[in-house]
Amino acid sequence: MNAREIALATLELRPTTRPAVALLSGGCWTINRQGYSLQDMFGRPELLADLIVGSNVFAPSDIVWVGSGYHNLAISALGGELKFRIKGPPDVKRPLLESADDAASLPLGNLSRDLQIDTLVNATRLVAKTIGDRVLVGSSQWGPFTLTGHLLGVERVMRSMVKNPAEVHAVLEFATRLTVEYLELFHRAGAEVVSIAEPSASGDLISRSHFAQFALPHLTEAIRQLKAKGLKVVVHICGNVTNRLDLLAGSGADLLSVDYKVCLADVREKLRGKMAFSGNLNPVAVMQNASSEQVSEEARKALTLAGTEPGYMLMPGCDIPPAVPLDNIRSLFRFTHESRR
């Protein structure tokens, strides 16, 4: 089985010849480690594709995420203002909406006309053409709840869930369309899998009841629409989601990616037979700061906790920082490639 076949089999809970292994995102790491910033890529999809394909030689991930980590470009395309950094993803400077009613006037058509997003989409097309027969090619975007925080402001969303829930749901409905339409651009360019990141829906930020009332219904709808287009869907939520694993099991996602705060044995127990799962090596303490030997040991522990049943993919517990050493990445892949079912 090649990397693409192993990734697909894992997402479909089928046996594989070795454990699946991938980075989660890795967009900033791929560009920054080779001396570039995101802004250097705009209008140069060939360069971005070359960097991604070249990195996969040294860091042979079963899934290659094109444009990952740069989700806020969607906010920029709608008229929002971003703060770009030399390293790392750009930040949204301020909420885009004054009220929920303003969401209806935001130009979703701008997504397909935006130069920055078009660069990522065309790079996806090139990567899929070059290595898409050997690895699974994907892209990613914020989920509806996290996008709502960027559009309306996180503090306002937290208050309005109590004082004005209708406002939150109204923006969530628009954000669901935004998530789906953005990711559909990459699907048309050749992506077979998409990742929806919902850091604002973490158990560290909102309660289980608020998650069930606000985040989950719109996340589930986005997943439904994306899967109807033939995509595989990964969901990643930072922080501790142990108390909502049972809810996520019914979301319809193909794979749940968990943070280092979540025990893989708990995930295995809650999701068994319902969806695949991945995680949960600490991106900083392990991937960035540990030795390559320690990375291999943590990978061994994760594989042990995840069990031998089909449906587990070894990954860092979140996007890796740009400073993660290449030796540690290579150690992660080497150890997993040498493992056998």
| pLDDT of 122 above 90 | yes
The answer, as to whether pTM is greater than 0.85, is yes
Q: What is the pLDDT of residue 341?
A: 54
User: Which CATH number applies to 3-338?
Assistant: 3.20.20.210
Contact 3, 135 (CB under 8 A): yes
What average pLDDT does this structure show over 126-149?
98
Q: What is the pLDDT of residue 339?
A: 83
Q: What is the pLDDT of residue 67?
A: 87
Measured CA to CA, the distance from residue 55 to residue 58 in angstroms comes to 5
| pLDDT of 83 above 90 | yes
| pLDDT of 104 above 70 | yes
Q: What is the mean pLDDT of the chain?
A: 96
Measured CA to CA, the distance from residue 261 to residue 61 in angstroms comes to 23
Helix (H), strand (E) at residue 148: helix 144-152
Q: What is the DSSP letter of 303?
A: H
91-92 and 136-142 beta bridge pairing = unpaired
Per-residue pLDDT band for 126 (boundaries 50, 70, 90) equals very high
In sequence order, what are the residues at sequence separation of 6 or more whose Cβ sits closer than 8 angstroms to the Cβ of residue 156? 95
Q: What is the pLDDT of residue 219?
A: 98
255-258 and 276-281 beta bridge pairing = parallel
Tell me what percent of the residues of the chain surpass a pLDDT of 70. 99
The per-residue pLDDT for range 224-267, each reduced to its tens digit, is 999 999 999 999 999 999 999 999 999 999 999 999 999 999 99
What average pLDDT does this structure show over 73-81?
96
